[in-house]
């Protein structure tokens, strides 16, 4: 039996633990969780709307979320977002407006400038196959319009229905180049309800980084963005929301906007009280995070093709290093860079992000040696994005699986009382895109402003599950 002295020590330690867990309490009208594109855009909307009683909590040590630049051997590379997609939309696209306003440097991608090489290094490029697949894509557009959304199929099955059944290496390679490179997964798994594409994209190659616009946008309220604030628990009350951090600090807010990725929302990493309703849980499973890994390989010199894109044709269908980009070219990096970007998706992404760097260098060298011969130099270094390992992200961007419908994105983005949700996984039209995240951040901030502007802060609108079927997308991916 412990002595009285021992009991006193135990009691003191217990009290100290309680005090530490309790932390300090901060009250604020609106709290935004996450300082990525959605969170910063929402903050700007509130600020411009005259509501300056807000804070942004970011778990990581930088502003940007999945927009992140890394200094790699003296060259600035983008770990995450790299393109302004859909520039054919012009000023209708908020990211194109941002590009113009802040003068983001780069160039329009030329997806026709590619070569296809097989595992033996032979050039098997056949532009007739590329033309044939583009016709298939147009047929898929038409099929999407007439298809009943309630009966979902995979992109692979939809392609079969319009007559596309790839058999040759070139046919399989062009499909990976056009689909896997976009959707992070193979055609058998990806929902056809999410089909869509942009014809024109702008590749950002700005020394300041893609994310410079977020830093510049947030200058007026930069003191309201708090970094290294890891959320542990979000509790909804009748008059507001209480957010508890891993440190024990507490934030009490009348309104909270979560911009967490679908990967975080569906992981249980953050506790929600009360728990999510079943409709939100089910929808999160239908729109999970896809896996897309950018592998930057540094060589003493360039030895690969001069094409903007090099498509690697193999018989593997697990996202295996299928698309490469020449980064030693005008507008990106100088001749001395010797930089090649190799993209992996799906299961290969998950594997390579767990692979030791020395082993990964050897694997990449083996691939390139077969394609370009034994005289190529050994890579100096390798750097890769690891979004699947990032516990605050848990994937590259949302990729709908078979069974996903428009209502699932709405369900994920539905407010629960005064707890709101935004992000690129909450919009069916522009999921997975920076401008999609921005649009949802602005939209949800306006909804919060409307709640505030109403006399007496009445209860915010109650979300009703939308069962309506919509067969066409107003803003194609």
Amino acid 79: pLDDT: 98
Those residues with Cβ within 8 angstroms of residue 253's Cβ, 6 or more apart along the chain or in another chain: 27, 28, 29, 30, 31, 240, 241, 242, 243
253-276 core/surface letters (b: 16 or more CB in 10 A; e: else): bbbbbbbbbbbbbbeebbebeeeb
Q: Mean pLDDT across the stretch 337-348? A: 96
Question: Which ranges in the chain are annotated with CATH 3.90.660.10?
Answer: 110-199+292-384
CB 410 within 8 A of CB 429: no
Lowest mean pLDDT among 5-9, 193-197, 223-227: 5-9
9/3 Cα distance (integer angstroms): 10
CB 313 within 8 A of CB 117: yes
**SS3 category, 389:** coil
Amino acid 466: pLDDT: 59
Q: What is the pLDDT of residues 271-321, one digit of tens each?
A: 999 999 999 999 999 999 999 999 999 999 999 999 999 999 998 989 999
Amino acid 454: pLDDT: 79
Q: What is the pLDDT of residues 213-236, one digit of tens each?
A: 999 999 999 999 999 999 999 999
**SS3 category, 315:** coil
Q: What is the 3-state secondary structure (H, E, C) of 392-460?
A: CCCCCEECCECCCCHHHHHHHCCCECCEEECCCCCCCCCCCCHHHHHHHHHHHHHHHHHHHHCCCCCCC
Amino acid 420: pLDDT: 97
CB 280 within 8 A of CB 413: no
Please say whether the dihedral angle defined by the alpha carbons of residues 31, 33, 35 and 36, taken in this order, is positive or negative.
negative
110/199 Cα distance (integer angstroms): 10
Please say whether the dihedral angle defined by the alpha carbons of residues 464, 465, 469 and 474, taken in this order, is positive or negative.
positive
Q: What is the pLDDT of residues 449-461, one digit of tens each?
A: 999 887 555 557 7
Rounded to the nearest integer, the mean pLDDT of the chain is 91
Helix (H) or strand (E) holding 26: strand 25-33
117/135 Cα distance (integer angstroms): 23
- Pairing between strand 292-298 and 381-384? antiparallel
Question: Which ranges in the chain are annotated with CATH 3.50.50.60?
Answer: 4-66+211-286+401-453
Amino acid 17: pLDDT: 34
Q: Mean pLDDT across the stretch 80-107? A: 93
Q: What is the pLDDT of residues 143-174, one digit of tens each?
A: 999 999 889 999 999 999 999 999 999 999 99
* pLDDT higher than 70, residue 2: no
CATH T-level fold of 110-199+292-384? Polyamine Oxidase; Chain A, domain 2 (3.90.660)
Q: What is the pLDDT of residues 26-60, one digit of tens each?
A: 999 999 999 999 999 999 999 999 999 999 999 99
Task: From the options 3.40.630.30, 1.10.287.110, 3.50.50.60, 1.10.10.10, give the CATH code of 4-66+211-286+401-453.
Answer: 3.50.50.60
Helix (H) or strand (E) holding 31: strand 25-33
Amino acid 458: pLDDT: 55
- Tokens encoding 160: 């079969």
Amino acid 413: pLDDT: 97
Give the count of beta carbons closer than 10 Å to the beta carbon of residue 20: 10
- Helices 94-102 and 434-453 cross at an angle (nearest 10°) of 100
């Amino acid at each position: 039996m412990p002595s009285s002295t021992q009991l006193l020590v135990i009691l003191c330690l217990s009290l100290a633990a309680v005090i530490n867990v309790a932390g300090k309490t901060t009250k604020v009208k609106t709290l935004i969780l996450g300082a990525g594109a959605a969170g910063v855009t929402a903050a700007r909307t509130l600020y411009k709307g005259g509501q300056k009683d807000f804070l942004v909590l970011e778990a990581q040590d930088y502003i940007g979320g999945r927009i992140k630049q890394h200094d790699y051997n003296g060259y600035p590379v983008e770990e995450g977002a790299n393109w302004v997609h859909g520039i054919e939309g012009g000023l209708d696209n908020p990211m194109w407006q941002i590009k113009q306003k802040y003068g983001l440097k780069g160039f329009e991608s030329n997806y026709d400038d590619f070569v296809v090489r097989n595992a033996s290094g032979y050039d098997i490029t056949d532009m007739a196959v590329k033309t044939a697949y583009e016709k298939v894509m147009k047929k898929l557009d038409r099929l999407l319009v007439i298809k009943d959304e309630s009966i979902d199929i995979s992109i692979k099955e939809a392609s079969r229905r319009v007559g596309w059944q790839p058999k040759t290496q070139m046919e399989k390679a062009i499909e990976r180049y056009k689909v896997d490179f976009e959707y992070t997964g193979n055609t058998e798994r990806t929902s056809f309800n999410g089909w869509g594409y942009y014809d024109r994209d702008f590749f950002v190659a700005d020394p300041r980084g893609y994310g410079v616009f977020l830093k510049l946008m947030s200058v007026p309220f930069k003191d309201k963005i708090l970094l290294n604030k890891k959320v542990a628990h979000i509790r909804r009350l009748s008059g507001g929301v209480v957010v508890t951090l891993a440190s024990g600090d507490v934030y009490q807010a009348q309104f909270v906007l979560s911009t967490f990725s679908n990967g975080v929302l569906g992981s249980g990493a953050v506790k929600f009280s009360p728990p999510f309703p079943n409709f939100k849980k089910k929808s999160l499973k239908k729109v999970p995070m896809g896996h897309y890994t950018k592998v930057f390989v540094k060589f003493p010199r360039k030895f690969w093709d001069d094409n903007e894109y090099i498509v690697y044709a193999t018989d593997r269908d697990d996202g295996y290093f299928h698309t490469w980009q020449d980064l030693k070219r005008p507008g990106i990096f100088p001749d001395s860079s010797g930089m090649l970007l190799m993209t992996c998706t799906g299961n290969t992404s998950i594997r390579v992000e767990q692979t030791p760097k020395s082993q990964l260098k050897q694997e990449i060298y083996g691939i390139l040696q077969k394609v370009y011969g034994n005289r190529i130099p050994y890579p100096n270094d390798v750097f890769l994005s690891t979004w699947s390992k990032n516990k605050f992200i848990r994937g590259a961007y949302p990729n709908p699986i078979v069974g996903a419908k428009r209502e699932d994105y709405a369900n994920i983005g539905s407010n629960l009382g005064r707890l709101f949700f935004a992000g690129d996984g909450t919009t069916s039209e522009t999921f997975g895109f920076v401008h999609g995240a921005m649009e949802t951040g602005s939209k949800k901030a306006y909804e919060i402003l409307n709640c505030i502007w109403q006399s007496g802060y009445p209860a915010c609108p109650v979300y009703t599950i939308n069962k309506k079927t919509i067969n066409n997308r107003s803003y194609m991916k």
